[in-house]
Amino acid sequence: MFSYTPLDHDRHEIRLLTFNFVNPPLSHENLGDSPSINLSLSHAFLDAELAPVYNALSYVWGDANDTRPIILDGHVFQVTKNLFTALTQLHASQVRARIWIDAICINQSDNDEKAVQVRLMSSVYSLAKNVLIWLGPEPDGGAFQTIRSLAAMYRDSTNEGYINIETITDREDLQFEERMARLGEEVVELADSGGDEDGRLDFEALWKLFFDRPWWHRVWVVQEVVLAKAAMVLCGDEFVLWEDVKDIWFVLLAVSHRVLRIGDDKYSNLANAVNIIIGIFGHLEAASTNYEASLINAQERGVGEAGLSLFEALEVTFQSNTVAATDERDMIYGILGMVQPEDRCKIPVDYSSTNTMERVSFDVSKVLLMKYGPNILSSYQRLFSVKHHPAAIPSWVIDRTSAFRTALAVKVEDRHPINNLYHATKGTSWEEWSARSEIGQASYGEPRISLPGRIVGRVVNVGKTLVDMTVQKYSAEWYAVVTKWLFELIDMLETYRASLAGNSEFLTSTLENVWRVPVLDSDVDGTARADDGLWREVFLAGFETLTLTGKKQSWSDVDDEEQTELPNDLFMYLGACKVQRQRSFVDNTGRPGTTLQDVQVGDQVVIFPGAHVPFVIRPVTQKGGDVVHHMVGAAYVYSIMDGEAMEDDLEFQDIWLA
């Protein structure tokens, strides 16, 4: 029976595999008719003065119950079918260099060893001579030739092999956009004609390569390709360089923009194929680009190791909603290799049965909250994906692995200044107030934290309409439900005004500006305030059309022909509404707002120093009489998004979140 020799973790020891090419192949009674793959294990030290030379395999394990036997150090050893096909191809290719493969080189039954080896992933993949990406034994079907052709066209169009997007000037940026526009036009023409003398541009084969291969969706592969000095993609006995795969990114964007501009239905299949590939591949391109920028930054500053911040690694990886892992804890552990050491060391890697995904998320949320403050909570997403009820974890713990981000998610970044749209705390910084918080002492058993805050309102009415994520934008259903959402908010404001003794000048102004609430007072993309440019004029016109007609008709009664007769401003306004999973509310001062769907009457509006947006929290009285709060979510509240609530003399109090 095979058994592992322990590793010297203090010296960063790893195991490496070597193929034993024996002719004729060795036989073994337990191998049956399977081809004989014979391997030997050796040990090497990553911190040795002379680093070992080896390749590393990047692949998908596949079904753990579907295995094939190989010979390892003279003993039968079971590997998954997908790994077996990779080994078979490497054996047939007479690969002589040593190779690192996680399923064999790490003792998978030893949780302590796994935890240590996961922390070495950054070194394992960055020191490898080549990273071999195994997509499967099936032929690529012409996709690799399409990749080579598109990559060559990209390099020809840029007159060089690489453009540093991080340092590009405005003039260079304009020139680059013009070149990409011409490239998009050229590629679409070639695709329409079937290709050129160098080969056919087969976008269907390219789409299948991305859509049908599970490798693109495995969380571990992000750091594996990001850290690689060199990498190649293998399908059966064919390969293409990873650099060529990366270079087609801008080509795909250019093709997508060109097809959109043409607007011809005959290109719908091409557009769908390209946009699906962009969606699947986007997180890998973003991670690679950001990591390369961190390398340049580290070299220029001459400080520390390169790497992404924990926040940045989470953001780029989980912008895709298809990233997955067999062990859900690996959704975090699987990206730590590309995280800068000062953040990486704060996340304990623990594969024991008591360390659940909830605990891992607790650790991540705590690290991010201590570093960035309450802005982190603005993209608040409860752990809907975990097996236990969300109430089992603190309300301030967020699921950073979810692709869902609230429309109010504040951007926090280490390397680039971010122009956030709102300034609810009027320029106060987290650094100024962090000392008054109590976060570091929190544990999973005692998870309460304290943030300084100012309570500025209490929710007195809540809308009933909820826009589900399944409702497709620009559909008749979307127009109907958003219209209902908005008029429900207007009715709540009018009810509030009727309850006042006399007219309220503020309420009149509020009703005139209620159009801002569903669009969060921002443009279509949420990148500028609604008063910037022409958006105010467009949105006001759309809102006025809606208030004149919306209450008098049901969108279900409006046929396609009647829709074409409605002003375009109306559709632009409704399309700009950002109300998915949001409910409207009115507070005790008559301010309208919107926050996540769990809001209820009695919740409080709070301002946390250093945060760009206000939040809604819920007071909860515990058994001993102490009052703690549960986080509901970030909020847009009319008339306090630019620091207006900071202008009075209200004291900040300690807000305990549990």
* 481 vs 59, residue with greater confidence: 59
252-279: per-residue pLDDT in tens? 999 999 998 888 888 889 999 999 999 9
Q: Identify the CA nearest to 401 among candidates 422, 418, 386, 417.
A: 386
Strand pairing category for 592-596 and 582-587? antiparallel
Cα distance between residue 265 and residue 653, in whole Å: 59
Rounded average pLDDT over 96-100: 95
- For residue 217, give the nearest of 128, 331, 121, 310 by alpha carbon: 331
Q: What is the pLDDT averaged over residues 226-245?
A: 95
Band of the pLDDT at 470, cuts 50, 70, 90? Answer: confident
The predicted pLDDT at position 413 comes to 64
Alpha helices in 513-549 (DSSP H): 535-549
Q: Is 398 left (phi over 0), alpha (psi -120 to 50) or beta?
A: beta
Closest among 134, 167, 164, 146 to 62, alpha carbons compared: 134
Residue 170: enclosing H or E segment and its boundaries?
A: helix 170-193
Above pLDDT 90, what percent of the chain? Answer: 62
Q: Tell me the whole-structure pTM to 2 decimals.
A: 0.86
Total count of residues recorded for the chain: 658
Low-confidence winner among 33-42, 323-332, 526-535, 623-632 (lowest mean pLDDT): 33-42
Query: Which pLDDT score is estimated for 507?
Result: 79
User: What's at 16, amino acid-wise?
Assistant: L
Per the CB < 8 A criterion, the answer to whether 288 and 246 are in contact is yes
- pLDDT band (50, 70, 90) for residue 584: very high
Task: List the single range of 64-73, 555-564, 565-574 with lowest mean pLDDT.
Answer: 555-564
Question: pLDDT tens across 532-549, in order?
Answer: 778 999 999 999 888 876
Interval 111-138: pLDDT, tens: 999 999 999 999 999 999 999 999 999 9
Q: How large is the average pLDDT for residues 221-249? A: 95
Alpha-carbon dihedral angle through residues 367, 368, 372, 376, given to the nearest 10 degrees: -150
169 pLDDT tier (thresholds 50, 70, 90): very low
Sign of the Cα pseudo-torsion (352, 358, 360, 362, in order): negative
456, 650 Cβ separation under 8 angstroms? yes
Query: How much is the average pLDDT of 73-81?
Result: 95
Give me the pLDDT at residue 559, please.
Answer: 62
Summarize pLDDT for 377-434 with one digit per residue, the tens: 987 555 443 334 455 688 899 876 665 667 777 777 655 445 688 999 987 889 999 9
CB atoms within 10 A of CB 525: 7
Q: What is the pLDDT of residue 165?
A: 45
Give residue 302's identity as a one-letter amino acid code.
G
Average pLDDT taken over every residue of the chain = 87
Q: Is the pLDDT of residue 505 over 80?
A: no
Mean pLDDT of 308-323: 89
Over range 293-321, report the average pLDDT.
85
Average pLDDT over residues 433-452: 94
351 SS3 class: coil
Nearest to 266 by CA among 208, 188, 185, 183: 188
In tens, the pLDDT along 554-566 reads 555 666 666 666 7
Minimal CA–CA distance to 68: which of 38, 34, 96, 40?
Answer: 34
Q: What is the mean pLDDT of residues 577-601?
A: 93
Read out DSSP for 372-417?
Answer: HGGGGGGG----TTSSS-GGGS-TT---TT-S---TTPPP--SSS-
For the chain, percent helix, then strand, then coil, each to nearest 5? 40, 15, 40
For tokens 């004729």, the residue is 24
pLDDT class for 520, splitting at 50, 70, 90? very high
- Fill in the amino acid letter for 586: V
The C-alpha atoms of residue 603 and residue 461 are separated, in whole angstroms, by 10
pLDDT at 594 over 50: yes
| pLDDT reading at 305 higher than 80 | no
Is the pLDDT at 192 greater than 80? The verdict is: no
**Per-residue model confidence (pLDDT) at position 21:** 86
Q: Residue 549, Cβ neighbours under 10 Å: how many?
A: 14
Q: How far is residue 508's CA from residue 497's CA, in Å, rounded to a whole number? A: 9
Reply yes or no on whether the pLDDT at 649 is more than 90: no
pLDDT at 551: 53
| C-alpha closest to that of 310 among 338, 350, 289, 348 | 338
Measured from the Cβ of residue 280, the count of other Cβ atoms closer than 10 Å reads 19
Average pLDDT over residues 294-305: 79
Amino acid identity of residue 555, one-letter, is: W
Across-strand partners of 79? 68
Which strand (E) or helix (H) includes residue 508? helix 505-512
Sign of CA dihedral 166, 168, 174, 175: negative
- Asked if the model's pLDDT at residue 567 lies above 90, the reply is no
Q: Record the tokens describing residue 32, joined without a space.
A: 């049956």
Token digits for 396? 């301030």
Of 551, 550, 520, the closest CA to residue 535 belongs to 520
Residue 16 and residue 54 in contact, taking contact as beta carbons nearer than 8 Å: yes
- Phi, psi angles (nearest 5°) of residue 44: -150, 155
Q: At what angle do helices 476-498 and 505-512 cross, to 10 degrees?
A: 170
The larger pLDDT score, comparing residue 368 to residue 477, is at 368
Distances (CA, A) of 162 to 176, 206, 253, 436: 12, 23, 16, 47
pLDDT of residue 168: 43
